[in-house]
Amino acid sequence: MNMQAIITAVIVIAILGLILGLFLGIAAKAFHVETDPREEKITAALPGNNCGGCGYPGCSGLAAAIVKGDAPVNGCPVGGESAAKAVAEIMGVDAGNSVRMVAFVKCAGDCEKANKDYEYTGEQDCRMAAMLPGGGDKSCSFGCLGYGNCVKSCPFDAIHIVNGIAVVDKEACKACSKCIEACPKKLIELVPYEAEYLVACNSKDKGPDVMKKCKAGCIGCSLCKKNCPKDAVDISDFLAHIDQDKCEGCGACAEKCPKKAIVHH
């Protein structure tokens, strides 16, 4: 083996490495983008779940948006009030009032209450089942299919299938909205943690049709609306809706509901 050739090769590689290093160093300085030091502090103050529930790509993405003024200091649904206060302190602003939100499944049509048109034996996937005739095996085309897409999407183990329908553990829920995105029936919504009564139905069918399909479905009878002392209940599309800003949790609507479609949260 030619020793001179080996030495020459080593020298050439060393020179190329030096040139490449100098080039990278110059490029790093030339293209360096100054980062606001508050971004790093805000990222550290956030919970670090990187769930995307805030609408940004992870906690660092939200931190950058907050610093730029594109997102509020209380933009993290997982961190809640404590994170909002910490971020507000870093930004030198008021955190404002932060209402804790949790997910809620608008369906009470479990195995005992909801009728089925046929037995589904395909892939245990809500989106796949929803493509079948009638929007799935349940007679109610608006009801929870119970195949757990929401369960699989939840990073906090806060939602489970109980007796054929999805049920949220509001103590574990962080309002990241992953389950909302996963549900093909659009049955899940964010509601205030402190909400006392909620309508556990999403059917837009008329009352007689609902009664043929589910024992727990809202029939739009308006008894809840008529008996609410705070005018917090409204009926639209044959379905009751509770205005949580007006509701004082007296329970009159739930007491008068003949189908028990209004549940205590």
The pLDDT tens digits of the residues spanning 38-92 come to: 999 999 999 888 888 888 888 999 999 999 988 889 889 888 888 999 999 999 9
Least confident of 71-80, 116-125, 166-175, 176-185: 71-80
pLDDT value for 150: 97
Torsion of CA 104, 109, 112, 116, to 10 degrees: -140
CB of 201 closer than 8 Å to CB of 217 = yes
pLDDT value for 203: 97
Q: What percent of the chain has pLDDT over 90?
A: 69
Q: What stretch(es) of the chain map to CATH 1.10.15.40?
A: 37-91
CATH no. of 101-194? 3.30.70.20
Q: What stretch(es) of the chain map to CATH 3.30.70.20?
A: 101-194, 195-265
pLDDT value for 33: 58
Class of domain 195-265 (CATH, top level):
alpha beta
Class of domain 37-91 (CATH, top level):
mainly alpha
Considering the entire predicted model, what is its pTM?
A: 0.78
Helix 80-91 × helix 37-45 angle, to 10°: 160
β-sheet bridge partners, residue 105: 188
pLDDT value for 30: 65
CB of 85 closer than 8 Å to CB of 210 = no
Query: What is d(CA 190, CA 155) in angstroms, rounded to the nearest whole number?
Result: 16
CB of 130 closer than 8 Å to CB of 185 = yes
- The pLDDT mean for the chain works out to 91
Where residue 144 falls among pLDDT bands split at 50, 70, 90? very high
Whose tokens are 């892939």? That residue is 123
Write a three-state SS string for the chain: CCHHHHHHHHHHHHHHHHHHHHHHHHHHHHCCCCCCHHHHHHHHHCCCCCCCCCCCCHHHHHHHHHHHCCCCCCCCCCCHHHHHHHHHHHHCCCCCCCCCEEEEECCCCCCCCECECCCCCCCCCHHHHHCCHHHCCECCCCCCCCCCHHHHHCCCCCEEEECCEEEECCCCCCCCCHHHHHCCCCCEEEEECCCCEEECCCCCCCHHHHHHHECCCCCCCCHHHHHCCCCCEEEECCEEEECCCCCCCCCHHHHHCCCCCEEEC
